[in-house]
Amino acid sequence: MNDSRPLVMHVVYSFDVGGLENGIVNLVNRMPPERFRHMIVALTRCVPSFCERITRSDVQFLSLEKGAGHGARLYPRLYRLFREHRPAIVHTRNLAALEMVVPAWLAGVPVRVHGEHGWDASDLEGTSRKFQLVRKVYSPFVSAYVALSRRIEHYLTGKVGVRASRVKRICNGVDTARFAPVAKRAEIPGSPFNDPGLVVFGAVGRLQAVKDHANLIRAFGQLVHGSPDAARRARLMIVGGGPLHASLQALVSAEGLDDYVWLAGEQANVPLMNSGMNVFVLPSLAEGISNTLLEAMASGLPVVATHVGGNAELVVEGQTGLLVPSADPAALAGAMAALLAHPQRAAAFGRAGRERVCAQFSLDAMVADYLSLYESRLRASAPGTGPAIQSRNALR
């Protein structure tokens, strides 16, 4: 039987553990199933264990196993894929998938949405002229943009030259029922830091360069090596897998922190891991709107975060947490020391952060914004006329 629900095809570089991918999981799981169907296409690979986080049984997954090189090699295959499945909307995310709006346009997909979630280590401040030019080149093939933070919105309208009416800012949302405060710090199976007398600083994120866990480890070394009280009470738990695991473990040993730092690896139960922390730390070099930061705040944790990307849109300095410069271990160590020394202030940060997330960053609000965008763009796509690429001047 034919399914009359419009199909949204989400095209990403990979579908594996990460904030961008977790946002797709939340969106697909929460969107009313009668409104849209969904298919997830990874240019590289959809990791089966991560796909299991999608609870809907009607979602398809496809791995294209892309190798190195320009994605244009995939254009014929994607063109055939789009023609076969006839999606109403193709939603690409970040620069690595942007070029796939071209075969979507060629295949007659009515709506091509592109989401910008943040920059990576190769363009931390969005200053690369090359990447700005790439985005300008593909802009005529994009129907609408989603910017996850004000800074990204300003980048698209200012540096890339996209007309403001084509950009909608939609912040990530968090499940405040799943991520909630606990009465006392939980015991984590396998953790060496379950002693209730310890103060556990924690980070959650994929172990890759842009997350800068190396800076966090060095900062934590300064904290515990510079204070007998910190050495006695403070510990660090880093949750996440990724390509830098071995080098970060080597850094822990080189800094003399084997008894103080636990690299917990990838963990499926992030709410449980958050419940085993006293303070959450986000040391990233760049961020859009961080899912892990929102989840930590929803969990009632005080936070220390670098002043990059959308972090300042989430963390109210001196009210829900502390903001520090990126790549500055001394500043990061100082912020952690301040919360270690003042537990009542830290607890007040945690309460205020929870209140802020519940009031402004709910998952229901995020889903409603995407539904509104999808449906308004479909209405505007002039059914029956087919997509027509507009002039560059009209689109900018």
Q: Which pLDDT belongs to residue 71?
A: 79
**Residue 104 above 90 pLDDT?**
yes
Domain boundaries 199-360, corresponding CATH code: 3.40.50.2000
Please write the tens of the pLDDT for every residue from 138-171: 999 999 999 999 999 999 999 999 999 999 999 9
Closest CA to 173 of 93, 289, 52: 289
Residues in the chain: 396
Q: Are 7-173+362-395 and 199-360 in the same CATH fold? A: yes
Query: 45 falls in which pLDDT band (50, 70, 90)?
Result: very high
Cβ-Cβ contacts under 8 Å for 380 (sequence gap 6 or more): none
pLDDT given at position 67 = 81
Helix axes 19-30, 363-379, angle to 10 degrees: 80
Tell me the sheet residues that pair with 93.
115
Helix, strand or coil, per DSSP, at residue 101: helix
- Flag the least confident range among 62-76, 222-236, 259-273, 374-388: 374-388
Q: What is the structure's pLDDT at 162?
A: 97
Average pLDDT across the chain, whole number: 93
Domain covering 7-173+362-395 in this structure, CATH number: 3.40.50.2000
Q: What is the per-residue pLDDT across 80-98, written as a single tens digit (0 to 9) for each?
A: 999 999 999 999 999 999 9
Domain ranges of the chain: 7-173+362-395, 199-360
Q: For 58-70, what is each residue's pLDDT tens digit?
A: 999 999 999 877 7
pLDDT band at 1 (very low <50, low <70, confident <90, very high): low
For position 388, what pLDDT does the model report? 45
CA angle 313, 318, 321 (to 5 degrees): 65
- The torsion angle over the Cα atoms of residues 339, 321, 212 and 197, rounded to 10 degrees, is 30
How confident is the model at residue 392, as a pLDDT?
A: 37
